[in-house]
Structure 1
Amino acid sequence: MALNPKFAGQRLLFGQPSSSTSGVPPAVHTLELFLDYVCPFSAKQFKTFYHSVVPLIKENPKWASNLQIIFRQQVQPWHPSSTLVHEAGVGVLQLAPEKYWDFSDALFKAQLEYFDEPVVNETRNDTYRRLAKLAATVGVDEQALYNLLAIKDKVPEGSIGNTGNKVTNDLKLQIRYGRLVGVHVSPTVIYDGIVANDISSSWTKEQWQEWLAKNLD
């Protein structure tokens, strides 16, 4: 449930936890959403959660002050473009963390454009260029993001190659966390450190509302 401060943009927190008269420090529940940008089921869950459930949480002071939400990037490497789109997400975290959820929303809406077939005949850097243009639609600096993502076509002096790009090390941390907690399927939801197998990608706003009431009221 820990979140590296450099990835703070992945967290949504709408209120401060209430203090306790017993002297026990205030704390919040943690809901982690493990999502892959090119997974249709992840897109379905994100759409409902971001556009319907988040407003419910904001409107309920008790929920807002007792829950933090974390977007966990779950790369699914059997789709090669999954790595590329998640690199773009990491790049946005570096450049404009306040735009991360809006970029994720835009990317999920455009995910068909990054499935296997649309990317198979373009170069890796061409895919990055399209992702940077998409990020620009939510206010991220297009050229700055592309500069983070682009792969050089020449091996740097003093290197044997395979140096990656400027988000490679941060992407490794994202992947390492998912492996550490044993997440494989996307989407996966973890609530307070335990996989919530009852939560489905097809859940409606009303089903989420019922679950939140049960777990936060």
Structure 2
Amino acid sequence: MSVPPKFAGLKLTAASFQESHHTLELYLDYVCPFSAKMFNTFYELSPKIAAHYGSRLQVILRQHIQPWHPSSTLTHEAAVAVLRLAPEKYWEFSSALFKQQTEFFDISVVNETRNKTYERLAKIAGSVGVDEGKFLDLLKIPETPGENGQLNAGNKVTNDLKWIIKTDRVIGVHVSPTVFFNGVEERSISSSFTVAQWEEWLAKNVV
């Protein structure tokens, strides 16, 4: 959980008193239209944020799976694979995936096997410079039983995904998008925020 700069004294080390960054956390789901709306606007603004706020603000894109859309899990596994292989491509991959999110909506995947969906996600990963072969190696589900007849072993990012889900649950995030600022839910921020509204909010709150 993040700590506001003015409460740096809560941390143990003396060096913590010198920290001055705020933390903005965006909990988004790759198959949620409202998440896409928020991400696309914020990402458009991100170069200005980096230039203007620098070390005063850190932004974290948190993955938030909405399990009533089964393909949500697969898209988030894909993002975890990118984090493993090329973390510097995470935001760029997220941008590409959000732009193509309708291709992973319920009706778009209903007659598709899980591994076939991974293959389509691999094309998106490849479009931002991630090795498609290594990507698929992390995600594909074996078609034959594993050791000791294991039938439900998941893939090579399953444990990472469990950690991401736990971080959501421990603070009770439910809807997407949800925004936290310095560890507290910031309900004034809407998915319909324009660039101008984001700029106004940031100018008021990141001081």
TM over 0.5: yes
Q: Which amino acid aligns with 2:28?
A: L
User: Higher helix proportion, which one?
Assistant: 2
Is 2:139 aligned against 1:146? no
Query: Is residue 36 from structure 1 mapped to residue 29 from structure 2 by the alignment?
Result: yes
Structure 1 residues 120-135: aligned runs within 5 Å: 120-135=110-125
Q: Does 1:25 align with 2:18?
A: yes
Q: CA deviation at 1:27?
A: 3.1
2-structure distance, mates of 1:95, 1:59: 27
CA contact (8 A) 1:56 1:209 kept: no
Q: 1:57 aligns with which of 49, 60, 75?
A: 49
Which position in structure 1 is the counterpart of 2:201? 211
Aligned partner letter, 2:155: N
Q: Distance in 1 between matches of 2:30 and 2:114?
A: 17
Candidates 35, 39, 47, aligned match of 2:40: 47
Q: Which residues of structure 2 form unaligned runs of 5+?
A: 3-15
**Quick one: distance in 2 between partners of 1:124 and 1:69?**
32
Deviations 1:54-101 (A, max 9, x none): 1221231xx212100001000000000000000000000000101111
d(CA) in 2 for partners of 1:186, 1:26: 30
Aligned-residue offset at 1:216: 1.4
Q: Distance in 1 between the 2:120 and 2:63 partners?
A: 20
* Structure 1 gap segments, 5+ residues each: 3-22
> For residue 41 of structure 1, what is the amino acid of its counterpart?
F
Percentage of matched positions with identical amino acids: 60
The partner residue of 1:171 within 149, 161, 166 is 161
Equivalent in 150, 169, 180 of residue 160 of structure 1: 150
**Equivalent residue letter for 1:55:** P
Q: When the two structures are superposed, what TM-score results if normalisation uses the length of structure 2? A: 0.91
Supply the AA of the counterpart residue of 2:111. N
Residue 26 of structure 1, CA deviation: 1.9
Aligned residue for 1:103? 93
SS at match of 1:65: helix
Post-superposition shift, 1:155? 1.1
Amino acid of the residue matched to residue 203 of structure 2?
Answer: A
Secondary structure of 1:165 counterpart: coil
Deviation string, structure 1 residues 6-35 (Cα, Å, up to 9, x no partner): xxxxxxxxxxxxxxxxx9322311000000
Q: Are the aligned partners of 1:119 and 1:127 in contact in 2 as well (CA < 8 Å)?
A: yes
Q: Distance in 1 between matches of 2:74 and 2:157?
A: 10
**Aligned counterparts of 2:204 and 2:43: Cα–Cα separation in 1:** 20
Paired letter, 1:207: Q
Letter in 2 for 1:165: N
Residue 186 (structure 2) pairs with residue 196 (structure 1): yes
Q: Report the Cα distance in structure 2 between the residues aligned to 1:67 and 1:198, rounded to whole angstroms.
A: 18
